[in-house]
Amino acid sequence: MSGRYRLTSVDAVEEEGSWLFTVRDQHGNDEEFFLVPCDDPDRPAVEAWLNRCTHESQRLYREGVGAIVRDGGVVCPKHGSIFDTCTGYCDNGEAADTTLPDVEIAVDGGQVYLVDDDVTFLRAGPSRDDDDDDGPSSTSHLQF
């Protein structure tokens, strides 16, 4: 990808709580990323994280639900690990001491742009991979 691609607005991410999009990486793989608000004044207003828990590749953003965000963290629906919305770092649970992979974005004039030269924007929303639509196979007793 060269240049930048407008994804959505900061307002839309803040209103919805999260926003999903799909890219294609340099190896031809489709990957889902999601945007979440970041409340750190020293960072961009939103951040973009890979839609997979670092522990067992559980989707963190699910269609119809979005990403579960509590107290500045994205909660894994399978084991309850919590990833900081601003840094992607997890300090608890099964995914402790790991960080979610990111994709480079920029925020300009209230708009969010994909600016990562290693990926190509494909679509807003999920990948066309429908083999994981049954939701998490939860082993926790988390309730949201």
In this predicted model, what pLDDT tens digit does every residue of 115-124 receive, in sequence order? 999 999 999 9
CATH of the domain at 76: 2.102.10.10
Residue 143: per-residue pLDDT:
44
Residue 139: per-residue pLDDT:
46
Looking at the structure of the chain, the number of domains it has is 1
Query: What is the phi/psi pair of residue 14, to 5°?
Result: -65, -40
Give me the domain span that covers residue 63. Answer: 5-120
Q: Decide if 92 is inside a domain.
A: yes
Residues of the chain with confidence (pLDDT) below 70: 1-2, 129-144
Q: Decide if 51 is inside a domain.
A: yes
Q: Decide if 74 is inside a domain.
A: yes
Q: Decide if 39 is inside a domain.
A: yes
Residue 133: per-residue pLDDT:
47
pTM of the model: 0.87
Q: Decide if 43 is inside a domain.
A: yes
**Are the C-beta atoms of 77 and 139 separated by less than 8 Å?**
no
3-state secondary structure 15-51: HHCCEEEEEEECCCCEEEEEEEECCCCCCCCEEEEEC
Report residue 143 as tokens.
């309730």
Residue 3: per-residue pLDDT:
79
Q: Decide if 131 is inside a domain.
A: no
Q: Decide if 129 is inside a domain.
A: no
25 CB-near residues (< 8 Å, 6+ apart): 31, 118, 119
3-state secondary structure of 59: coil
Q: Decide if 134 is inside a domain.
A: no
Query: What is the phi/psi pair of residue 94, to 5°?
Result: -65, -25
One-letter identity of residue 134: D
